[in-house]
Amino acid sequence: MDTLTMIRRLYRVMPALDAIEHLERKHFMLNGGDSPMPAFSKSVSLSYDTLKLILHELDGVDERHAERFRAHFKLGEHQADLEDITCHRPGERDYITEHLSTNISASFDDQASVSMSKDTEQYLTIADKIARRAYQCGMRDDYRPGVFSEAIVSDTAIVLKQVNHWNARSIDHKKDYQLRNLEFYIPTAAVEARRRHSVDMIGNMTVLFSDMSSANNRYCGDRIYQAIQEEKARYSADLH
């Protein structure tokens, strides 16, 4: 599965969380007194065969994110099976379970179009090209979905991760292990990009990469590093 297709599928699942947010807002209106309505954020992630839906309540004072709802699904070829659900009002659990079970499989397989900006599509294409350099490159480089070990979409950003920690914690393999982390952060809302020291930027996309693998397993990380530099140069050249 290419990265654009994968992200579009995750965005099609996002509306399943709207009903959960509606319940939270309704409960607050009935019980919140004179307090202002809190803000909420939604996210959907896919890591290998596990699909996660999470709803957070945002505290604007100290920016804490209080988790209000979480559901885990196991994806099959044509269905999504609910494995775990956490909600703060047990009386709503049956309704939520039925709502999600009915909608998740259909949403994930739906072919309806999803609107994304040209910049976002370009960043996703670049991220795919970079991550593909390490796909099936070494031990445990067999990622899903697509060429990533995890993909996350939220109200404000897309995060793509390719993580390989093969043998990293094994005391029997001190000279043969992978310890490689690649992450892309793509802002999708009108918020400031996460600019940090010692990271690479391609436009507004943040690229975080580290490779502390054993010496005999640095080849794949070198391929990623080279791809990052190539894509940075190509993006910069296209601007001029």
Q: What is the pLDDT of residue 68?
A: 87
Tell me the pLDDT band of 82, cut-offs 50, 70 and 90. Answer: confident
Q: What is the pLDDT of residue 174?
A: 66
Instruction: Assess contact for 216 and 176: CB atoms under 8 A.
Output: yes
> How far is residue 52's CA from residue 84's CA, in Å, rounded to a whole number?
10
Question: Which has the minimum average pLDDT: 2-11, 56-65, 109-118?
Answer: 56-65
How many secondary structure helices (H) and strands (E) does the chain include? 5, 9
> How far is residue 180's CA from residue 61's CA, in Å, rounded to a whole number?
36
Question: Which has the minimum average pLDDT: 60-64, 163-167, 178-182?
Answer: 60-64
Q: What mean pLDDT do residues 111-126 have?
A: 88
Find all residues with CB under 8 Å of 61, minimum gap 6, and list them.
none
β-bridge partners, 87: 69
Q: What is the pLDDT of residues 192-210, one digit of tens each?
A: 555 554 579 999 999 999 9
* Nearest alpha carbon to residue 21 among 52, 43, 47, 46: 43
> How far is residue 142's CA from residue 24's CA, in Å, rounded to a whole number?
39
Q: Where are the domains of the chain?
A: 3-109, 118-239
- Evaluated on CA atoms 4, 75, 180, 196, the torsion sign reads positive
User: Token pair of 133, please?
Assistant: 């350099």
Tell me the pLDDT band of 223, cut-offs 50, 70 and 90. Answer: very high
User: Token pair of 168, please?
Assistant: 């990293």
Q: What is the pLDDT of residue 187?
A: 94
Q: What is the pLDDT of residue 189?
A: 84
pLDDT higher than threshold 80 for residue 122:
yes
Q: What is the pLDDT of residue 64?
A: 56
Q: What is the pLDDT of residue 16?
A: 87
Q: What is the pLDDT of residue 236?
A: 92
Question: Which has the minimum average pLDDT: 40-44, 185-189, 196-200?
Answer: 196-200
Q: What percent of the chain has pLDDT over 70?
A: 85
Q: What is the pLDDT of residue 205?
A: 95
Q: Rg of the chain over CA atoms, in angstroms?
A: 20
Note the helical H segments in 78-218.
93-109, 118-132
- Give the mean pLDDT of the chain: 84
- Using alpha carbons, list the distances in angstroms from residue 235 to 35, 121, 132, 139: 47, 14, 18, 31
* Nearest alpha carbon to residue 127 among 194, 207, 193, 60: 207
Q: What is the pLDDT of residue 193?
A: 53
Tell me the pLDDT band of 54, cut-offs 50, 70 and 90. Answer: very high
